[in-house]
Amino acid sequence: MSKKIIPLFIAAILVILSFMSVCSNATDIMYNTYHRRIYSETKSKNSSNDDNRGAKNSSNNEFTYETIDVRNMDEATLEKNMIEDFKNVSNFNRDIAGWINIPNVGYFPVMQCNNNSYYLSHNEYKEVEQNGAPFLDKDCDGFRNVSLIYGHHYSSGKMFGGLEKYKEQDFFFQNEFVTIYDGKYFYYYKPFSIYLFKSRTYSVQVTFDSLQEKEQYLQEIANCSTFVSDTPLGCGNSVLFLQTCDYSFYDARLVIAFKRTHTKKI
């Protein structure tokens, strides 16, 4: 092999490896299915005592897992599953605030308690678990006005790691509706902003003294966004923030802000 051909051959290999790396990053982000617990009916009836945080004791119950993948479900089937999963968890833990489906990212319970650290290390059954569970900020009044949900970020895509996909413009604008069920209503959202911030100097605001203050805040978010929807966002819109860690710089946080498009009561 001539000396001229060798550099060209090496360059070609590097280009191929680089392309494969980009493709791998896009395809290796896992989708989060949900592992529904199916409890023994007899055992469940014997578990009637609540602990001091409002969860029934499930440690002595026998159960199996059923994997729930909602990606190919129609809307009616998706909603049916969200209702069932919400009820199943609420039988054991009154901290359940809702259920969220983020298309092409994952399907999760959403917890809420008076401690924003608790569900960083506990699952929806209040068992210690490294992955934790997505949870609603303690200062949020459900999903009525401004809601902020936190979740861990794993580079594999586990938990809220899949929110990385919203950094791609096509995904941001074309992904399907995010759906939340809170036990009474289904809420549907579309993104209007994505941005990064340094957690030690900034935090997402969830309470406002007036509509004017809220409107000004949302405009400030739009001004610092990587992408922003051209759909008008009135200050009366209900807003959902999804927040997770980011590795673009030290102590970074990634936030995708959504506006509610419509609501449906069951």
Show me where the domains of the chain are located.
34-55+63-265
Amino acid identity, residue 60? N
Tell me: the pLDDT tens digits for 53-76?
556 555 567 899 999 999 999 999
Whether residue 7 has pLDDT greater than 80? no
**Dihedral of CA 197/200/201/206: which sign?**
positive
Give the model's pLDDT for residue 234. Answer: 64
The overall average pLDDT reported for the chain is 86
Best CA proximity match to 134, nearest among 172, 163, 168, 156? 163
Q: How far apart are CA 96 and CA 90, in angstroms?
A: 6
Structural tokens at position 131: 């992955």
pLDDT digits (tens, 9 = 90+) for 18-29: 333 333 344 579
Amino acid identity of residue 107, one-letter, is: Y
CB 242 within 8 A of CB 160: yes
What's the pLDDT tens digit per position in 81-134? Answer: 999 999 999 999 999 999 999 999 999 999 999 999 999 999 999 999 999 999
Residue 45 pLDDT grade (very low, low, confident, very high; cuts 50, 70, 90): very low
Classified by CATH at the fold level, domain 34-55+63-265 comes out as Sortase; Chain: A; (2.40.260)
CA distance 177 to 102: 7
pLDDT at 149: 98
Calculate the alpha carbon distances from 109 to 32, 195, 219 in Å: 12, 24, 30
Q: What is the pLDDT of residue 230?
A: 77
The pLDDT value given to residue 48: 46
pTM: 0.84
Q: What whole-number distance in Å separates Cα of residue 190 and Cα of residue 176?
A: 8
Q: Which of 252, 264, 265, 242 is nearest to 106 (CA)?
A: 242
**Does position 6 have pLDDT exceeding 90, yes or no?**
no
Q: Is the pLDDT of residue 138 over 80?
A: yes
pLDDT computed for residue 40 by the predictor: 79
